């Protein structure tokens, strides 16, 4: 998995606030979030890392699949992921995000035509009113997950829910 | 010269069996205007309803949020590159026109959900930036919502 070519970009550093999807988070010092310049939506960002095979993404979306809670969202997302990717060692667990119940989803996978094994770690939460799904996700080589822990911990600690306008 | 002809079946005003009240509300609000939009774009009513369900939402909370704004697609206000709430449109027609101006050419003529998503996510030269850069499951989520919209269209008596 590599950082996609997203053409014209928006960039973010430090505190990131999203008034449409109701959350804020602090991008760890020294890192930059980027997003495509979509004229209609701004849902989150991918953190640009030196190694483009590692990606961290933070985004929200409408809960259009009507997941009742975070664990159901994690299970539903795993089903969708497995439609296009063969995964191993999959696990769903519990955590919290911004003081609300959240779920963790992790698994390992191989990209087609590649020997390297990758790990995917994801935190999923549902907004208190059930309207939005929030995701913090990390993908990278399976033997390099210290960086993911540091970045995800920083994002998770700083997470706040806002009132969506 | 070609003419586009569409048969529009009106949204029912009552609650059909097995049609949840919030889905009936969603269809009462959008079935007719998005049928017209689909005709304009040469696509289908189900695909445009899916777009509204996917982006704006179709739960009671989502409808309470977006219906007073006349904003079925949940289009954001973007200030200095940041999302600052959802746009308020004077009419549903204005919201439809705005969406058509931004994304209409990308989905023109799309009949299947796969073609519709491909048009959004992989714009042709001159059609702007990729629609989504952060959610790797956008396409599969859209296709799943499409199936659910079809199920509720049947239950709620929408379409053919």
Nearest in space to B83 (alpha carbons), one of A45, A137, A112, A83? A45
- Contact: B140, A83; criterion CB under 8 Å: yes
Give the C-alpha separation, A46 to A121, whole Å: 14
pLDDT of residue A115: 73
Residue A81 lies in a domain: yes
If one counts the domains in chain A, the total is 1
pLDDT of residue B3: 47
Residue A3 lies in a domain: no
pLDDT of residue A1: 40
- Contact: A4, B130; criterion CB under 8 Å: yes
pLDDT of residue B63: 97
Element (H, E) at A106: strand A100-110
Residue B10 has pLDDT above 80, yes or no: no
**Structural domain boundaries enclosing A13:** 9-161
A59 touches B: beta carbon within 8 Å = yes
Residue A57 lies in a domain: yes
- Residues from chain B contacting residue A44 (CB–CB below 8 Å): 134
Q: Which of B103, B136, B146, B147 to mutate to test the interface with A (most CBs of A within 10 A)?
A: B136
Nearest in space to B104 (alpha carbons), one of B2, B11, B36, B9? B36
Nearest in space to A16 (alpha carbons), one of A62, A56, A53, A76? A56
A163 touches B: beta carbon within 8 Å = no
pLDDT of residue A145: 64
Distance from CA of A38 to the nearest CA of B (A): 6
Average pLDDT in the B108-116 region? 96
B108 touches A: beta carbon within 8 Å = no
Residue A2 lies in a domain: no
Q: Which of B77, B82, B140 sits opposite A84 (nearest CB)?
A: B140
Top pLDDT among B159 and A164 is at: B159
- Contact: A165, B86; criterion CB under 8 Å: yes
What is chain B's mean pLDDT, rounded? 89
Average pLDDT in the B107-111 region? 96
Top pLDDT among B134 and A79 is at: A79
Per-block mean pLDDT, blocks of 10 residues, chain A (165 long): 55 95 95 89 89 86 96 96 88 96 93 78 93 93 73 93 84
Q: Which of B122, B133, B142 to mutate to test the interface with A (most CBs of A within 10 A)?
A: B133
DSSP A142-155: TT-HHHHHHHHHHH
Give the C-alpha separation, A69 to A101, whole Å: 8
Helices (H), ranges, chain B: 21-41, 45-55, 60-66, 92-107, 113-121, 138-156
pLDDT of residue B2: 46
Q: Give the other-Cβ count within 10 Å of A52's Cβ.
A: 11
The residue of chain B nearest to residue A41, with distances taken between CA atoms, is: B76
The residue of chain B nearest to residue A80, with distances taken between CA atoms, is: B140
Residue A51 lies in a domain: yes
Top pLDDT among A38 and B92 is at: B92
Residue B14 has pLDDT above 80, yes or no: no
pLDDT of residue A150: 85
A123 touches B: beta carbon within 8 Å = no
Residue B98 has pLDDT above 70, yes or no: yes
Top pLDDT among B41 and A84 is at: B41
Task: Compute the count of residue pairs across chains A and B with CB atoms less than 8 Å apart.
Answer: 130
Instruction: CATH number of the domain at A45, please.
Output: 3.40.1000.10
> pLDDT (tens digit, 9 = 90+) per residue, B46-73?
999 999 999 999 999 999 999 999 999 9
A161 touches B: beta carbon within 8 Å = no
The residue of chain B nearest to residue A23, with distances taken between CA atoms, is: B83
- Contact: A1, B136; criterion CB under 8 Å: yes
Residue B13 has pLDDT above 70, yes or no: no
Residue A63 lies in a domain: yes
pLDDT of residue B103: 94
Residue B23 has pLDDT above 50, yes or no: yes
pLDDT of residue B20: 97
Of chain B, the percentage scoring pLDDT greater than 90 comes to 76
B51 touches A: beta carbon within 8 Å = no
Domain range annotation of chain B: 34-156
Q: ipTM of this model? A: 0.89
The residue of chain B nearest to residue A65, with distances taken between CA atoms, is: B145
What fold is seen in the domain B34-156?
Answer: Lysozyme (1.10.530)
- Residues from chain B contacting residue A81 (CB–CB below 8 Å): 137, 140
């Amino acid at each position: 998995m590599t950082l996609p070519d997203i053409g014209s970009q928006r960039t973010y550093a430090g505190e990131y606030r999203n008034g449409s999807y109701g959350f804020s988070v602090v991008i760890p010092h020294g890192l930059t979030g980027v997003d495509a310049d979509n004229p209609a939506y701004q849902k989150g960002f991918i953190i640009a890392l030196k190694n483009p095979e590692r990606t961290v993404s933070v985004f929200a979306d409408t809960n259009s699949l009507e997941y009742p809670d975070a664990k159901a969202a994690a299970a539903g997302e795993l089903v969708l992921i497995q439609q296009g990717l063969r995964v191993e060692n999959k696990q769903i667990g519990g955590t919290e995000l911004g003081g609300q119940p959240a779920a963790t989803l992790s698994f390992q996978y191989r990209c087609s035509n590649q020997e390297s094994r990758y790990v995917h770690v994801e935190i999923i939460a549902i907004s208190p009113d059930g309207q939005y799904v929030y995701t913090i996700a990390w993908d990278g080589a399976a033997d390099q997950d210290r960086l993911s822990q540091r970045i995800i911990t920083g994002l998770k600690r700083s997470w706040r829910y806002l009132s969506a306008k | 010269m070609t003419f586009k002809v569409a048969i529009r079946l009106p949204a029912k005003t009552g609650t059909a069996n097995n049609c949840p009240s919030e889905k009936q509300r969603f269809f009462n609000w959008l079935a007719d205007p998005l049928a017209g939009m689909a005709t304009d774009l040469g696509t289908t009513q189900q695909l445009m309803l899916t777009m509204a369900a996917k982006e704006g939402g179709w739960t009671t909370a989502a409808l309470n949020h977006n219906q007073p704004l006349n904003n079925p697609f949940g289009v954001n206000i973007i200030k200095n590159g940041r999302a600052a709430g959802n746009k308020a449109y004077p009419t549903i027609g204005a919201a439809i026109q705005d969406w058509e101006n931004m994304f209409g050419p990308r989905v023109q003529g799309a009949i299947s959900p796969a073609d519709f998503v491909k048009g959004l996510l992989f714009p042709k030269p001159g059609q702007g930036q990729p629609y989504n850069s952060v959610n790797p499951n956008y396409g599969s989520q859209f296709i799943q919502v499409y199936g659910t919209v079809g199920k509720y269209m049947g239950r709620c008596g929408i379409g053919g």
